[in-house]
Structure 1
Amino acid sequence: MKKMANVFIATCVSGLSDAVRKILPSTSITSINRINKDAGPGITHEEVAAIEKHADILLADVPVIQAVAHSAQKLKWAASTWAGVEGLVKFIKDTKTPSFTVTRMGGAFNTLMCEYVLANILARERHVLELAKQQEAATWDKVPYMKYRSLSELTVCILGLGEIGTAVASLCGKLGMKVIGVTRNPVADDRKCPEVTQYSLVTDLSEVLAVSDYVVSILPSTPQSRGLLSADMFSHCKNKVCYTGDMFSHCKNKKTVFINIGRGDVVDEESIVKAINNGWLGGAVLDVFDQEPLPPTSRLWSLPGVIVTPHLAGPSTANQ
């Protein structure tokens, strides 16, 4: 009889072990609750030792996989609960390639991150925050908010057309937005997303920013992407030209809004502050930061036009 694999689950995601047990009721599963901490695996030395000695399969947050990468005795497969792989890639490059297969979470992030982007675009275009403040003041005045743009009038630039970026681009395109996809290398015709109106290279980023109402970064953290969006690059958003339909109808002085759901080190805080204060950006929606948690002293918390969320655009519950 084939021996049953020992599965270990070590994560901050509440209820993940129970969800897996429902799917695999006959599988031997050891559940470890990881403490979400900035440094270290977030589990005890005894729990690390148990994984090293007994685990055949490990479903875990990246810091746990790093902790056992070169000491696991039986491990055949480690599945990360995170979408990002840069932490593991850097760890492997700095040490050595592990003897087991490593995979990342895929697919589950697409819909929720699409919803995050769409929710923020709609909220800004329909003046949701301003109307909420008006409600708090018990004021009835619709005149300032009667003018808004429909989704079909918007041009959205997507930086990073991986799995998640393509899903965001597809949704935006299906809702009528003009979508410009920016990639580092040319994309073959058979791999292009049909909802992407225009493909551009990162070398043309300044021209793309100048015609975009929204710039959505879903870029990973790589040597090529870190610091890509400097304040000087954001200056191209100042005099935005907007295309409506098939003709160049008019120039709008509506500033571009930057949405970041990729990695925080694509742009530094000072560049965002400078871009907002100089009028290059009309606002920003930030879910990721170079330093997390974002320090209370950060100017981003109170910067006009900036929405700060605590890295929650992707799934954070077991069911998700």
Structure 2
Amino acid sequence: MKIINILFTGRLVKELERLLNSEEMLKGMGVRFVADEEVSSEDLDWADAYVAFHPVAHFQFGNLKWVHSLGAGVDRYMALGDRWPEDVLLTRTITSFGRKIGEYALSYMLKETQLHDRFRDQQGRAEWKMVSPRALDEMKVVVFGTGEIGQELARILGFFGVQVDGVSRSGADKDYFFRVMSLCEVDDSSFTEADFIINTLPLTKETVGLFDERLFGCMNQAVFINVGRGGTVDHGALLNALDSGALKEAVLDVFEEEPLPADSPLWNHPGVTVTPHISAITTPEEAVVCFLETLEAVESGGELRNRVDVGRGY
């Protein structure tokens, strides 16, 4: 595929322009770096490649041959319509997301197992009371999503002796998981011994509202960590699960609406920790490396390991 004109937009556009300004691979191509609120219909008609985290409000396919997401998720592209044009390639950014999410999840697991909150409360009362922390190798974790990010998360946790089960669409065995269940196999007994439930799933037709009253009702004082997509969770059901004791705590990094509205009950619930979608931030440098590798593969006809199956949505 020959790429002629590339349109870059979104929150990293100035950094990308700085990093790509003298890039040899782009010499001879038309390149525009435009703030998303300034992208015009003419820009979209001009481009045959579009690079951004998500489509602008008035996005149109025009003459596009290739769309490249600067993030791992592509649900906002999939939401453009029921049918993605067959002749438009969609790729996503693959970088160190698995490692970053592994570190994020591990930090909250250690906070829980090492009793940080308890000892802070004791300190406030000048109370010396020895309580034994739990070791990571006593933990059982269920990770929803066994793709690249889920596997890296399982590898990191496995290094510390954590037993990690996986849940995926197919239930196929994957490296680093003790076992993998399909979504259809999940039942009331699947999570009774789980200390942590970690969601890394993309947002697709199959995963919208997946974590509902029924699924949360299967849990037994687990800590729920969401680093996948906010739309996979019924937050009303989550709050009910916290109040009933099915969930011990929830750590949420992604939400259906971002920024999270100020009037959301999630902000003030004592069992909820909110972080502003920072578990796996794409750095400008990582974005450039993945983009250039993808561009080379697109033009040479090489293997595209980050190609999105638009039928599945990931």
Task: State the TM-score, normalized to the length of structure 2.
Answer: 0.79
- For 1:245, the equivalent position in structure 2 comes to none
- For 1:9, the equivalent position in structure 2 comes to 8
Amino acid aligned to 1:10 = T
- For 1:123, the equivalent position in structure 2 comes to 111
Contact 1:260 1:286 in 2 (8 A): yes
* Matched pairs, number: 281
- For 1:303, the equivalent position in structure 2 comes to 269
How far residue 89 of structure 1 moved from its aligned partner, in angstroms, is 2.3
- For 1:315, the equivalent position in structure 2 comes to 281
Alpha-carbon distance in 2 for matches of 1:232, 1:26: 51
Query: Alpha carbons of 1:134 and 1:301: their partners in 2 closer, same or farther (altered >3 Å)?
Result: farther
Amino acid aligned to 2:141 = V
Contact 1:16 1:318 in 2 (8 A): yes
- For 2:67, the equivalent position in structure 1 comes to 78
The answer as to 2:148 corresponding to 1:156 is no
SS in 2 for 1:224: coil
How far residue 140 of structure 1 moved from its aligned partner, in angstroms, is 4.6
Contact 1:180 1:208 in 2 (8 A): no
Contact 1:92 1:98 in 2 (8 A): no
Alpha-carbon distance in 1 for matches of 2:273, 2:112: 10
- For 2:178, the equivalent position in structure 1 comes to 197
Query: Alpha carbons of 1:64 and 1:56: their partners in 2 closer, same or farther (altered >3 Å)?
Result: same
Alpha-carbon distance in 2 for matches of 1:20, 1:130: 49
2:199 corresponds to which of 193, 205, 217: 217
Q: Which of the pair has the greater relative contact order for Cα pairs under 8 Å at 6+ separation?
A: 2
Amino acid aligned to 2:232 = V
Percent identical: 29
1:237-263 CA-partner distances (Å, limit 9, x unpaired): 23xxxxxxxxxxxxxxxx210001111
The answer as to 2:129 corresponding to 1:143 is yes
- For 1:103, the equivalent position in structure 2 comes to 91
Contact 1:268 1:290 in 2 (8 A): no
Contact 2:50 2:67 in 1 (8 A): yes
SS in 2 for 1:216: strand
Contact 1:155 1:178 in 2 (8 A): yes
How far residue 66 of structure 1 moved from its aligned partner, in angstroms, is 7.2
Query: Alpha carbons of 1:281 and 1:49: their partners in 2 closer, same or farther (altered >3 Å)?
Result: same
1:49 corresponds to which of 42, 55, 59: 42
How far residue 236 of structure 1 moved from its aligned partner, in angstroms, is 2.4
Query: Alpha carbons of 1:143 and 1:133: their partners in 2 closer, same or farther (altered >3 Å)?
Result: closer
How far residue 118 of structure 1 moved from its aligned partner, in angstroms, is 1.4
Query: Alpha carbons of 1:183 and 1:100: their partners in 2 closer, same or farther (altered >3 Å)?
Result: closer
RMSD of Structure 2 on Structure 1 (CA):
2.6
Structure 2, gaps ≥5 residues long = 287-314
SS in 1 for 2:211: coil
Amino acid aligned to 1:198 = R
Contact 1:179 1:196 in 2 (8 A): yes
Contact 1:16 1:317 in 2 (8 A): no
Contact 1:209 1:234 in 2 (8 A): no
Contact 1:65 1:78 in 2 (8 A): no
- For 1:33, the equivalent position in structure 2 comes to 35
How far residue 4 of structure 1 moved from its aligned partner, in angstroms, is 8.5
SS in 2 for 1:232: helix
Alpha-carbon distance in 2 for matches of 1:11, 1:165: 27
Query: Alpha carbons of 1:45 and 1:317: their partners in 2 closer, same or farther (altered >3 Å)?
Result: closer
Contact 1:231 1:275 in 2 (8 A): yes
How far residue 181 of structure 1 moved from its aligned partner, in angstroms, is 0.6
Alpha-carbon distance in 2 for matches of 1:111, 1:66: 35
